[in-house]
Amino acid sequence: ARTQIKESATLTRDVLEQHFSDLKGTLKKLLDERLLSLLQEVDVIEQESIKPLDECQKLIEHGVSTADDLLREGESAVDGDVGQENEKLCNFTKKALHIQLDSLPEVPSLVDVPCLSAQLDDCLLTILKNQIFRHGTVASRPPVQLEEFVEKPGGILVRWCKVDDDFSPQDYRLQLRKGTASPFEDAYVGSDTEFMVLHLDPNVDYQFRVCARGDGRQEWSPWSVPQLGRTTLVPHEWTAGLEGYSLSSRRNIALRNDSQSCGVLYSKAPTYSCGQTLTFRQVLGGELIETVGQPDRRDSLGVCVEQQNGYDSLQRDKAVCVSTNGAVFVNGKEMTNQLPAVTSGSTVTFDMEVVQLGPCSNEGGNFKLRVTISSNNREVVFDWVLDQCCGSLYFGCSFSYPGWKVLVF
């Protein structure tokens, strides 16, 4: 605990220093850009305002220079001899008649001449000061924390909870990473407080963390304290190679293809154990398949003691299953209770616990399992009596028509 306080305090200091250093750099850049923009405005006004005055000055200087030259020429004509004097006076008289000394360009009055100044409002400093003094907070603990890790075959059910009564969460964000060297990656973003993280390697440590976003806010809260989670349960897999079914790369999704071949697709091994929850989820078959396959009464999703070839459904002895129309079968017999029909996005779960009715030995004996099958917020509970002890069971499915696609976990 002491190490956590020390490490989190050091990390918080680093984050604060880096954030305010970035702010200083950004603020200086913005101020420099604004100053340059205002100086450019001064240059433009100065150039545009002084240009006509410069032209007026040139005209006046040109007129004065012309008159000065004419004056000197007149003085020369008066001082010359009689012959040259008449010619010079004649030229002087001609130039004097054409020179225009009685007109000047219009000079604007001082009232109309621009006088530049800068208007700088000191309220900007007040606004910035108020914003800066309210910028950033230091929290002694994050508003949400990881609460529970539940092992699942090839995955972990992660639960989290709110620990700050004054915090109103809108969304949560769960991240994980393998070990501690790789970067964190998003696993879930949404309003739920639990999420099933699949596709995890068994007996490998994963680090998890969660944060939240307040109602109506854009920024995320601080991360929760990272915690390690692992699963020791191998992932559920369908058996590869059965004609009629195509499997995903991890073999946890089975798609009933358009092959005419029919039969039961079993799990690769008896990986379902009593006390666990087995989940079948109906997903879309692909971008072009917007609905599930056509239902058939012989369809089945369920659990069995052993693989038995030659059947086209799990509606048989030593098996419990539910059909896509919602009918429940125990050892091949249909129950009176029925579940909702399986549709796109439907989830069907099997939960079993042992209720033993006598000695369990290698020779066999009465063995009862309390089975709960749930689908679309409805459930059926019954006892499944077997003549042998079953520590682990197979799961399976069968569909008569293409388009059904089932994820198992």
Question: Per-residue pLDDT tens for 176-226?
Answer: 999 888 899 999 999 999 999 988 999 999 999 999 998 888 889 889 989
**Which H/E stretch holds residue 382?**
strand 378-386
- Number of compact structural domains in the chain: 3
What band does 47 get if pLDDT is binned at 50, 70 and 90? Answer: confident
Q: Are residues 127 and 269 in the same domain?
A: no
Please, are residues 189 and 171 in contact by the beta-carbon 8 Å criterion? Answer: yes
Segment 7-13 mean pLDDT: 87
Q: Are residues 289 and 366 in the same domain?
A: yes
Q: Are residues 163 and 266 in the same domain?
A: no
In a domain, 334, yes or no: yes
Q: Are residues 250 and 385 in the same domain?
A: yes
Segment 133-146 mean pLDDT: 84
Q: Which ranges constitute the DSSP H helices of 80-173?
A: 82-98, 123-134
Tally Cβ neighbours within 10 Å of residue 200: 21
* Dist CA 48 CA 56 (whole Å): 14
Please, are residues 231 and 237 in contact by the beta-carbon 8 Å criterion? Answer: no
Burial of 49 from C-beta contacts in 10 A (0-12 / 13-18 / 19+): middle
| Last residue in a domain, options 134, 156, 173 | 134
* Dist CA 376 CA 64 (whole Å): 103
In a domain, 238, yes or no: no
Q: Are residues 396 and 283 in the same domain?
A: yes
* Dist CA 314 CA 304 (whole Å): 8
Sort strands 253-256 and 405-408 into parallel, antiparallel or unpaired: antiparallel
| Last residue in a domain, options 231, 260, 282 | 231
> Among residues 252, 332, 261, 344, which one has the least CA distance to residue 300?
332
| Last residue in a domain, options 231, 265, 295 | 231
Segment 341-367 mean pLDDT: 76
In a domain, 161, yes or no: yes
Q: pLDDT higher for 391 or 117?
A: 117
Residue 369's CATH number: 2.60.120.920
In a domain, 342, yes or no: yes
Q: Are residues 161 and 127 in the same domain?
A: no
Q: Is the pLDDT of residue 108 over 90?
A: no
Pair of tokens at residue 87: 């010619």
Sequential DSSP letters for 174-231: EEEEETTTSPPEEEEEES-SEEEE-SPPTT--EEEEEEEEETT--SBPPPPPPEEE--
> Among residues 170, 177, 172, which one has the least CA distance to residue 159?
172
Which pLDDT belongs to residue 264?
Answer: 95
Segment 350-374 mean pLDDT: 76
* Dist CA 407 CA 409 (whole Å): 7
Task: Please report, for residues 30, 129, 136, 214, the alpha-carbon distance to residue 133 in angstroms, rounded to integers and kept in the order given.
Answer: 20, 6, 8, 22
Pair of tokens at residue 182: 């790789």
Q: pLDDT higher for 363 or 92?
A: 92
Phi first, then psi, for residue 155 (nearest 5°) are: -165, 180
Q: Are residues 391 and 354 in the same domain?
A: yes
Q: Coil, helix or strand for 366?
A: coil
Q: Are residues 263 and 395 in the same domain?
A: yes
Q: What percent of the chain has pLDDT over 90?
A: 50
In a domain, 34, yes or no: yes
Residue 158's CATH number: 2.60.40.10
Average pLDDT, the chain: 86
Phi first, then psi, for residue 385 (nearest 5°) are: -95, 130
Question: Per-residue pLDDT tens for 397-407?
Answer: 999 999 899 99
Which pLDDT belongs to residue 91?
Answer: 75
Domain that holds residue 91: 1-134
In a domain, 20, yes or no: yes
Question: Per-residue pLDDT tens for 273-320?
Answer: 988 899 999 886 544 344 567 889 999 999 999 999 889 999 999 999
Which pLDDT belongs to residue 209?
Answer: 96
Q: Are residues 129 and 155 in the same domain?
A: no
Quickly tell me which residue has 């545009």 as its tokens.
Answer: 48
Ranges of beta strands (E only) in 250-332 are 253-256, 265-266, 272-273, 277-282, 300-304, 319-322, 327-330
Segment 348-374 mean pLDDT: 78
Please, are residues 153 and 233 in contact by the beta-carbon 8 Å criterion? Answer: yes
Q: Is the dihedral of CA 239, 241, 242, 245 positive or negative?
A: positive
Which pLDDT belongs to residue 355?
Answer: 85
Q: Rg of the chain over CA atoms, in angstroms?
A: 45
Find which of 32-41, 48-57, 352-361 is predicted with most confidence, using mean pLDDT: 32-41
Ranges of beta strands (E only) in 248-317 are 253-256, 265-266, 272-273, 277-282, 300-304
Tally Cβ neighbours within 10 Å of residue 279: 18
Q: Are residues 283 and 403 in the same domain?
A: yes
In a domain, 239, yes or no: no
Quickly tell me which residue has 């620990």 as its tokens.
Answer: 163
Q: Are residues 292 and 326 in the same domain?
A: yes
Q: Are residues 21 and 123 in the same domain?
A: yes
In a domain, 122, yes or no: yes
